[in-house]
Amino acid sequence: MDRLLCGDVGYGKTEVAIARAFKAVAAGKQIAVLTPTTVLAFQHFETFKKRFAAFPTRVDAEPLPHSRRTKSNPRRSR
Protein backbone atom coordinates (compact mmCIF):
# COMPACT_ATOMS: atom_id res chain seq x y z
CA MET A 1 0.00 0.00 0.00
CA ASP A 2 1.45 3.35 -1.01
CA ARG A 3 -1.10 5.70 0.50
CA LEU A 4 -3.46 5.70 3.44
CA LEU A 5 -6.10 8.42 3.63
CA CYS A 6 -7.82 9.01 6.95
CA GLY A 7 -9.67 11.87 8.60
CA ASP A 8 -12.90 12.93 10.25
CA VAL A 9 -16.30 12.93 8.60
CA GLY A 10 -16.84 15.75 6.13
CA TYR A 11 -13.21 16.52 5.31
CA GLY A 12 -13.39 15.44 1.64
CA LYS A 13 -11.60 12.09 1.81
CA THR A 14 -13.77 10.64 -0.97
CA GLU A 15 -12.99 13.54 -3.31
CA VAL A 16 -9.26 13.16 -2.66
CA ALA A 17 -9.50 9.40 -3.18
CA ILE A 18 -11.35 9.83 -6.50
CA ALA A 19 -8.80 12.36 -7.77
CA ARG A 20 -5.83 10.16 -6.80
CA ALA A 21 -7.54 7.05 -8.18
CA PHE A 22 -8.09 8.76 -11.51
CA LYS A 23 -4.45 9.77 -11.71
CA ALA A 24 -3.31 6.23 -10.85
CA VAL A 25 -5.67 4.59 -13.36
CA ALA A 26 -4.57 7.05 -16.06
CA ALA A 27 -1.00 5.86 -15.39
CA GLY A 28 -2.07 2.24 -15.97
CA LYS A 29 -2.25 1.17 -12.34
CA GLN A 30 -4.98 -0.49 -10.31
CA ILE A 31 -6.43 0.91 -7.12
CA ALA A 32 -8.30 -0.53 -4.15
CA VAL A 33 -10.59 1.26 -1.73
CA LEU A 34 -11.14 -0.29 1.69
CA THR A 35 -13.96 0.85 3.96
CA PRO A 36 -14.99 -0.04 7.50
CA THR A 37 -18.63 -0.82 6.63
CA THR A 38 -20.49 -2.42 3.74
CA VAL A 39 -22.81 0.61 3.53
CA LEU A 40 -19.85 2.94 2.98
CA ALA A 41 -18.33 0.48 0.52
CA PHE A 42 -21.55 0.51 -1.52
CA GLN A 43 -21.73 4.31 -1.42
CA HIS A 44 -18.13 4.62 -2.62
CA PHE A 45 -18.72 2.00 -5.30
CA GLU A 46 -21.69 3.96 -6.66
CA THR A 47 -19.78 7.26 -6.50
CA PHE A 48 -16.73 5.86 -8.30
CA LYS A 49 -18.95 4.20 -10.90
CA LYS A 50 -20.72 7.48 -11.69
CA ARG A 51 -17.55 9.56 -11.78
CA PHE A 52 -15.61 7.13 -13.98
CA ALA A 53 -18.50 6.31 -16.34
CA ALA A 54 -17.28 8.71 -19.03
CA PHE A 55 -13.80 7.18 -19.11
CA PRO A 56 -12.52 3.84 -20.43
CA THR A 57 -12.17 2.30 -16.97
CA ARG A 58 -13.78 -0.57 -15.13
CA VAL A 59 -15.13 -0.04 -11.63
CA ASP A 60 -15.82 -3.30 -9.85
CA ALA A 61 -16.52 -4.48 -6.32
CA GLU A 62 -15.16 -7.60 -4.65
CA PRO A 63 -16.90 -8.57 -1.43
CA LEU A 64 -14.68 -9.91 1.30
CA PRO A 65 -15.44 -13.39 2.60
CA HIS A 66 -17.66 -13.60 5.64
CA SER A 67 -16.08 -13.98 9.04
CA ARG A 68 -14.69 -17.35 9.97
CA ARG A 69 -17.32 -18.07 12.58
CA THR A 70 -18.59 -21.61 12.48
CA LYS A 71 -21.65 -23.34 13.86
CA SER A 72 -19.45 -25.32 16.23
CA ASN A 73 -17.59 -22.22 17.42
CA PRO A 74 -19.78 -19.12 17.03
CA ARG A 75 -17.35 -16.94 19.04
CA ARG A 76 -14.37 -17.70 16.85
CA SER A 77 -13.64 -14.68 14.67
CA ARG A 78 -10.11 -15.51 13.47
Q: Please state, in angstroms and rounded to a whole number, the distance separating the CA atoms of residues 4 and 16.
A: 11
pLDDT in tens, 10-64: 888 889 989 999 999 999 999 988 888 888 889 999 999 999 999 999 999 887 6
pLDDT of res. 45: 93
Burial of 10 (0-12, 13-18, 19+ CB in 10 A): exposed
What type of residue is 60? D
- Whole-prediction pTM value? 0.71
Measured from the Cβ of residue 59, the count of other Cβ atoms closer than 10 Å reads 19
If one counts every other C-beta atom within 10 angstroms of the C-beta of residue 21, the result is 20
Tell me if residue 8 falls in helix, strand or coil: coil
